[in-house]
């Protein structure tokens, strides 16, 4: 049933936007901002308390809701799985940004591509060139696909019902919300907690990127370059993804009016419009491989039962 729920959720999320899918994320942001205003005294202890207040109740409530519905009828639990997964996935939203940036660059509309990239990443890129926009779009696409699809699937399979999916997505939202530059160490625990939750999923996603792309280059970049990036989870995804695609990522870019120095990730050609389409292919192949493996597990489980 879990495998079927994943299939249904992915299809629904791709076919049409779901009105309430983004509402819960806005609610989490609103609650996170409110807790930060009340509890942020600049210490990691306050950040730990705030994280637990948000993540634990939502995770437990999701698990209890699933068990309660399963006790009534398996179909209700299945529908609950699908509804929660659709809310957790954001593949369509990120894909829309990616496709529109791709189209703008292909048409030579650099200003439009810069504006779309800024809306997606939350930073202005008024001075970024076409190669920089393509590089940043590929990076954002690789990381976002992992954190809104592959990581969600990993924890959905691991924990009862959709509680793992909720825990992972909420933890990711808090790490992004509280991990922005703030006074003190309030966001430190959220970042560390998410890094711990993402340790295994990020490496599995990177492994799949390697398998469906250029395996030798992906593994080489993963082993030699991931240590250079400050966020280790993102580093593994970018290094393996860049190697798998045969494209150079990272490197200095113009961001918010300044030139940001970044280490080089990946190997091969400089990022361009054609690499955006290659990235889409890589992500879909990776998703198909993951679903194929889960299908094998499901068949083995049914046969064993």
**pLDDT tens digit sequence for 25-66:** 888 888 888 888 888 887 888 889 999 999 999 999 999 999
Phi-psi region of 231 (alpha: psi -120 to 50; beta: other; left: phi over 0): beta
For residue 266, the SS3 value is strand
Count other Cβ atoms within 10 Å, centred on residue 4.
12
Domain total in the chain? 1
What would the mean pLDDT of 200-216 be, rounded to a whole number?
Answer: 95
Contacts 24+ apart (CB under 8 A), 20-29: 20/87, 21/86, 21/87, 21/89, 21/90, 22/93, 24/87, 25/169, 25/173, 28/54, 28/170, 28/173, 28/174, 29/173, 29/177
Q: What is the per-residue pLDDT for 1?
A: 65
Check pLDDT > 80 for residue 21. no
- Given a cut of 80, is residue 302 above it in pLDDT? no
CA-CA distance, 189 to 49, in Å (whole number)?
A: 9
Distance of CA 112 to the CA centre of its chain: 24
Average pLDDT, the chain: 90
Amino acid 299: pLDDT: 83
- The pLDDT tens digits for 144-192 are 999 999 999 999 999 988 999 999 999 999 998 887 655 568 889 999 9
End-to-end CA distance of the chain: 13
Instruction: Show the domain range for 227.
Output: 2-304
Span 110-121, average pLDDT: 93
pLDDT band at residue 304, thresholds of 50, 70 and 90? low
Is 280's pLDDT higher than 70? yes
Burial of 231 (0-12, 13-18, 19+ CB in 10 A): middle
Site of tokens 């160490």: 185
Q: What span, in angstroms and rounded, lies between the C-alpha atoms of 17 and 13?
A: 6
Pairing of strands 253-255, 269-270: unpaired
19 has a pLDDT exceeding 70: no
Chain centroid, CA 102 distance in Å: 19
What letter would DSSP give residue 271?
P
pTM of the predicted model as reported, rounded to 2 decimal places: 0.92
Sign of CA dihedral 39, 44, 45, 49: positive
pLDDT at 114: 94
What confidence tier does 8 reach under pLDDT thresholds 50, 70, 90?
A: very high
């Amino acid at each position: 049933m879990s495998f079927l729920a994943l299939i249904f959720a992915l299809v629904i999320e791709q076919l049409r936007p779901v009105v309430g899918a983004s509402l819960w994320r806005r609610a989490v942001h609103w609650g996170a901002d409110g807790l930060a205003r009340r509890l942020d005294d600049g210490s990691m202890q306050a950040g730990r308390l705030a994280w637990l207040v948000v993540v634990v109740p939502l995770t437990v409530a999701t698990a209890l809701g699933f068990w309660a519905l399963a006790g009534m009828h398996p179909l209700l639990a299945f529908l609950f799985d699908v509804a929660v997964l659709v809310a957790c996935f954001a593949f369509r939203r990120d894909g829309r940004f990616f496709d529109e940036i791709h189209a703008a660059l292909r048409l030579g509309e650099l200003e439009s591509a810069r504006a779309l990239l800024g809306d997606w990443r939350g930073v202005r890129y008024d001075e970024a060139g076409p190669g920089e926009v393509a590089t940043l779009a590929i990076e954002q696409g690789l990381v976002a696909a992992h954190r809104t699809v592959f990581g969600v699937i990993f924890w959905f399979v691991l924990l009862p019902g959709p509680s793992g999916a909720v825990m992972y997505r909420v933890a990711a939202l808090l790490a992004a919300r509280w991990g922005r530059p703030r006074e003190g160490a309030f966001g430190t625990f959220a970042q560390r907690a998410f890094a711990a939750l993402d340790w295994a999923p990020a490496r599995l996603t990177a492994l799949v990127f390697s398998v469906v792309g250029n395996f030798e280059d992906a593994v080489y970049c993963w082993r030699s370059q991931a240590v250079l990036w400050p966020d280790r989870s993102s580093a593994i995804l970018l290094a393996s993804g860049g190697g798998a695609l045969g494209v150079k990522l990272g490197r200095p870019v113009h961001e918010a009016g300044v030139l940001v120095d970044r280490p080089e990730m990946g190997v091969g050609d400089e990022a361009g419009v054609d690499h955006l389409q290659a990235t889409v292919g890589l992500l879909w192949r990776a998703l198909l491989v993951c679903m194929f493996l889960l299908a094998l597990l499901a068949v083995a489980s049914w046969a064993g039962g």
